[in-house]
Structures are given as C-alpha cells and as structure tokens.
Amino acid sequence: MTQLLSDIANRQSAAREVMARLGVASVNSGASAGDWIEQPAGGEIASYNPSDGSELGRVLLAAEEDYDEVLWRATHTFERWRLLPAPKRGEIARELGDELRRAKDDLGTLVTLETGKILAEGKGEVQEMIDVADFAVGLSRQLYGLTMHSERPGHRMYEQWHPLGAVGVISAFNFPVAVWSWNALIALVCGDTVVWKPSLKTPLTAIAVQHICNRVLGRHGWNGVLNLVIGQDDVVGDRLLHDRRVPLISATGSCRMGHIVAQAVAGRLGRTLLELGGNNGVIVTDDADPDLVVRAVLFGAAGTAGQRCTSIRRLFLQKGVAGAITEKLIAAYKQVRVGDPLDPATLMGPLIDGNAVENMMRGLRAIREQGGEVLTGGGRLNTGAGYFVEPTLVKAHPHMAILKEEIFAPILYLIEFDSLDEAIGWHNDVPQGLSSAIFTTNLISAETFLSARGSDCGIANVNIGTSGAEIGGAFGGEKETGGGRESGSDSWKAYMRRQTVTVNWSRDLPLAQGIKFEL
Ligand code: UN1
C-alpha cells in the first residue's frame, strides 16, 4: 500500500512537471482566441487520470458570452486571414510542426495522463500531428483547381477554391489532439479560422495545444486564427451547431452524437464533416499467414484498450484456420500486460472512465444473453481507482444482434465462416462502415474484398489491421460512420468553397447550348 501511494505521488509530481512545461498549470481558462479569456463564466470541471482516478487539474468552462467573444474574433480574423497567400499560411503550419516536434515527449505524456493510452501511442498521436503539419505545408502550395475547355470561342473556364470561414471542430477524448490537427491544420492552410470544442474528458491536452498555437501565431501578429472553447454540450456545443456564422462543423464522436450534429447543422443548411462510430471487421482466409494475423489483431483489438474508432471488433475466421488462430489469440491475450500506461512494458492502459467500464460490462451481459461465449477476459481488474479491464475474446454467432453495435472497449468477436462471399456479407451487415481488412495470400480473395462487391467501408486494407491509418490518405467511412473524409488526399476540399469561373475574353456574347437570344 505504501509503495502504491508513493508510486501515485511520484506520478502526480511528474504529471505536474509535464503540465508546467506545457503551460497547462498556469492557465485555468478554457477559452482562447489568441489571448486567454481570464474568467470564463461557464463553471468548472476537473480532468482525471483514468489510471488512478486522481485529479490532474481544473479548467474553467466557457459560457455563452465567452463563446460569442471567441466566435467574434474567429469570424473577424477570417476576413484578413483568408487574404494571406496560402504558402504564407503554410509557413505557420511548418512552425507549428516544429513546435510540436519539440513538445512531442511532454505532449505525448500529457495525452497518456489524460486518456490512459500507453506512452508509445500518446507520442504516436503527437507524431500524427507533426505528420499532418508537414502535409499541410506541402498542401499550401497545391490547392489546385481544374481548368475546362469552354464550348464557346474566346472563353476561359476554370475552378478556384476559396476559404470557407470560421470552421467548428468537435473532437473526441480518444484522439484528443491528432484528430483536431487533421482538421485544424488543413483548415488553416485553406485560409479558414478554427473554433475547437474538445471533449470535456481531455481539456488539458487541448489547452496545451492551444498554448503552442498562440505562441506560433502570436509571433506573426495573429490572434483568433486557431481558437478554443471548452464548454458543456448544451451551452457551447448547441450554440456552435446552430451558429450561422460557422459554415462547416467537423465532428468526431459516436453515431448517436452524429445524428444530433447532422440534423442541427442541416437545419440551417450548413455543412458537416462527420467521423462517427466504426464496427470494423477483419476477414481471415485459410491461406493467410497466422502469425501476421495474431500480431495485427492484438494491436488492432487490444491496442488503445479498444478505444479507437478504427479498433478491430469483429474477426471472421475461415473454418480451416479458425481453431489454430483462436488458440494463438487466447494465448496472446493472456499475456497482454494491462496497467500503468506510462510504464514502457504496458501494452494496454485503462478505459477512459467508470461509465466506459460499465458500458463494457453491460455489453458482456448482452453478449452472454445472446449466446456469445467469453473465451478469455471479460472482467474488471482490481487496480486501485483506475478503470482497468481485461482484453476480451468472444466466440460469437454471426447473427447476434449485438454485433451491429460499437462497444468502445477491448472486446473482439470471433466468427467462423465457410466461404468468402458469406464472410463479406456478414462483414457488411452492420450500420457502420469505417475500416476493414482481409488477411490472405490469395490475389483473387484480396481483389474480391477490394472490389465493388467487397468491403463497403471507407478504408479497406490487405494484410494489415483496421487501425493505425497514415495521415496521407483520406480518413473516414460510409453509412452511419457519416461519410466524411479528413486528413490526407483531397480532403482539404471540404474546408474550401469551389467557385466555377467563366471569363469571356472575346468581343462577342455566344450563349451556351447554342441558344440565340437577339433583338
Ligand atoms: C479515431 O479513433 O477517431 O487510424 C481516429 C487510426 C488513427 C486515427 C484513429 N490514425 O487508428
């Protein structure tokens, strides 16, 4: 017990040092438009460390008037920011990337303290921000439009892309900073300003990132380009969704939350970019390499304690390999070291909070009621006040109703199948459509999975798991995942408005479609 208490005390003083270096300790305001709002009036919350339940810090929340102040700054700054040449905006993205490189260890540690994900993943999340910053720098010189051949003589036709306005970014606890960067850094080079509403479970990482933004933008005399409002959903969230000054809301979260966001924003004919729940499946055919499968599944299903939207939830095993892979997985799951996410030996940290644990336990009860058999795991772990659970394998029947739900926890269903067509049918028979994968050494099976009658997801992989996507691709999914695409490829187009331009440089006025309209 004494050892445990002194461990906790040590951890807490280490946490305080990291937060002091990141400037989190010196600010208890949760609203900033370059300058921090000194006494926001929306009440106060605490941020907790899910590993031991201890309080990491307290944050003052934005009230409606604080939100309005930030929005005013964001919309007014937009009027000037949109006129700065995109490559100059890119220079700011590069400096943000440089600062993030310097802050990687501290910010990664803070991500771990606040989310409970292991340190390698906490730092990986910051690396993802750095990668996006680099991508955004290049993109700032590549916001290309097309040119078309006009059907009229002496006419030139092309399209150009203009900044959109003040963009709202709503982020989730599980990727508290990387997903913000996918949106914010792309929006920034596109010439938008950003208003960020982070999860109330991870306010400190948001404040730390905002400090970095303020420092970099402040050096260049900019205030109000990247903004933060930490507040309650029914105060700040609602206002943001209904605010006609905000042309685009990019939101990450559950499908339930996505329905609320989509309907509110559609009600004012605003745009949404939604990245919602996943229910990601992996198909393993008889010819797959079993060791590759086990390694990939372990990271994809138990990694981040199953709290990625891309986590593997359903594993379809062809009957010839099902037995062997199940055995290997059970053995591997029993060796997963669950515990302090700051300890380099740990593979799986805690769930985010007590509700998440309850939710997992409720899910397991339903699984058992529906005929699922827990092969290993299934329990809470008694590690003090932390929210630790066991990584869990479930033998499932393909038609269990619960298979259609996303349980945000390390539960993996194992389902046996005969033919690839049958597996693809079951795989696609869920409301969500984010990420998917097949493990096979057979070209025909791989290409079938990637074909129009294969996976119906936004992401489809061969011989790698469903999570851990690189930033260079467009990230997002179909069906109830919301249809949005963020980060790489041409996702930037969501943050700009397209303008089709026709210039008549002749001295005549020919009409399109050959129409004659003369006096
Ligand atoms: C999420 O869980 O919301 O592909 C994002 C991945 C990460 C991002 C996950 N790059 O798993």
For the segment 194-229, what is each residue's pLDDT rounded down to a tens digit? 999 999 999 999 999 999 999 999 999 999 999 999
State the Cα–Cα distance between residues 204 and 115, nearest whole angstrom: 10
Atom of ligand 1 nearest to the CA of 469: 4
User: What pLDDT is stored for residue 404 in this prediction?
Assistant: 98
Distance (angstroms) between ligand 1 centre and the Cα of 175 equals 7
Residues of the chain with CATH 3.40.309.10: 280-471
Q: State mean pLDDT over 92-105.
A: 98
How far is ligand 1, taken at its centre, from the CA of residue 469, in Å? Answer: 7
pLDDT at 255 over 70: yes
Which phi and psi angles does 273 have, rounded to 5°? -130, 110
| C-alpha separations of 305 from 113, 360, 459 in Å | 15, 11, 21
Q: Is the CB of 314 under 6 A from ligand 1?
A: no
Q: Residue 385 has what pLDDT?
A: 87
- Tell me if residue 309 is catalytic: yes
Distance 411 CA to ligand 1 centre (A): 17
Any atom of ligand 1 within 6 Å of the Cβ of 252: yes
> For the segment 401-428, what is each residue's pLDDT rounded down to a tens digit?
999 999 999 999 999 999 999 999 999 9
Determine if ligand 1 sits within 6 Å of the CB of residue 487.
Answer: no
Residue 64: other Cβ atoms inside 10 A: 14
Locate CATH 3.40.605.10 in the chain.
8-276+485-498
Concerning whether 275 is annotated as a catalytic residue, the answer is yes
Q: Is the pLDDT of residue 3 over 70?
A: no
Note the pTM of the prediction, 2 decimals: 0.96
**d(C-alpha 492, C-alpha 495), whole Å:** 6
Query: Is the confidence at residue 238, as pLDDT, over 90?
Result: yes
Catalytic, out of 190, 213, 255, 309: 309
Q: Mean pLDDT across the chain, nearest whole number?
A: 96
User: Is the Cβ–Cβ distance between 279 and 312 less than 8 Å?
Assistant: no
Structural tokens at position 379:
């329990």
Superfamily grouping for domain 8-276+485-498: Aldehyde Dehydrogenase; Chain A, domain 1 (3.40.605.10)
**What is residue 6's predicted lDDT score, i.e. its pLDDT?**
61
Q: pLDDT tens for residues 449-494?
A: 999 999 999 999 999 999 999 999 999 999 999 999 999 999 999 9
Instruction: State whether the beta carbon of 251 lies less than 6 angstroms from ligand 1.
Output: no
pLDDT, position 12: 72
Superfamily of domain 280-471: Aldehyde Dehydrogenase; Chain A, domain 2 (3.40.309.10)
Q: Which among 272, 267, 294 is positioned nearest to 414, based on CA atoms?
A: 294
Chain segment 12-67, per-residue pLDDT in tens: 777 889 989 998 876 668 899 999 999 999 999 999 999 999 999 999 999 999 99
Tokens (6 digits) for 486: 């963020």
Q: Is residue 1 pLDDT above 60, yes or no? A: no
C-alpha atoms less than 13 angstroms from C-alpha of 280 in its C-beta half-sphere: 32
Which residue out of 175, 434, 491 has the highest number of ligand 1 atoms within 8 Å of its CB and is therefore the one to mutate? Answer: 175
% of the chain beyond a pLDDT of 90: 94
